[in-house]
Amino acid sequence: MTMFRPLLAAALAAGLLTSPALADRPRDQDQAFRATNEGRAIPLPVIRDRVKRELGDAEYLGPEFRGDTYRLKFMRGNRVIWVDVDAATGRIVGRSGR
């Protein structure tokens, strides 16, 4: 039994050390920041402001970053509007919920 405890403690310690590396995936904002710094994406505030002007009175709720596109979420009344924007060019490539 005395030999079992050190082995159990070592196994638990090894599991605790490796599990955060497996659980962490890059966050959207980290990916967007990296893409902007590398010149692969226009900064989100620039794209957000362009789309907000186009949608007028719709309320901006937030972004998602999908590697090569931003997906912006808006509300107008009780309707959700999703706008997909090419991150490199700023061009709207899709829209739903008009």
pLDDT of 15: 53
Chain Cα centroid distance, residue 20? 19
**pTM exceeding the 0.75 threshold for the entire prediction:** no
* pLDDT on residue 48: 93
* Distance of alpha carbon 77 from alpha carbon 9, whole angstroms: 56
Q: Is 23 exposed, middle or buried (0-12, 13-18, 19+ CB in 10 A)?
A: exposed
What are the average pLDDT values for consecutive 10-residue runs of the chain, which has 98 residues? 58 52 63 74 90 93 89 95 94 87
pLDDT at 13 (0 to 100): 54
Pick the CATH number of 4-96 from 3.30.410, 1.10.3470, 3.30.1490, 3.10.450: 3.10.450
pLDDT at 60: 96
For residue 92, what pLDDT is reported? 95
Residue with tokens 């709720």: 61
Q: How many residues does the chain have?
A: 98
Token pair listed for 36? 């902007």
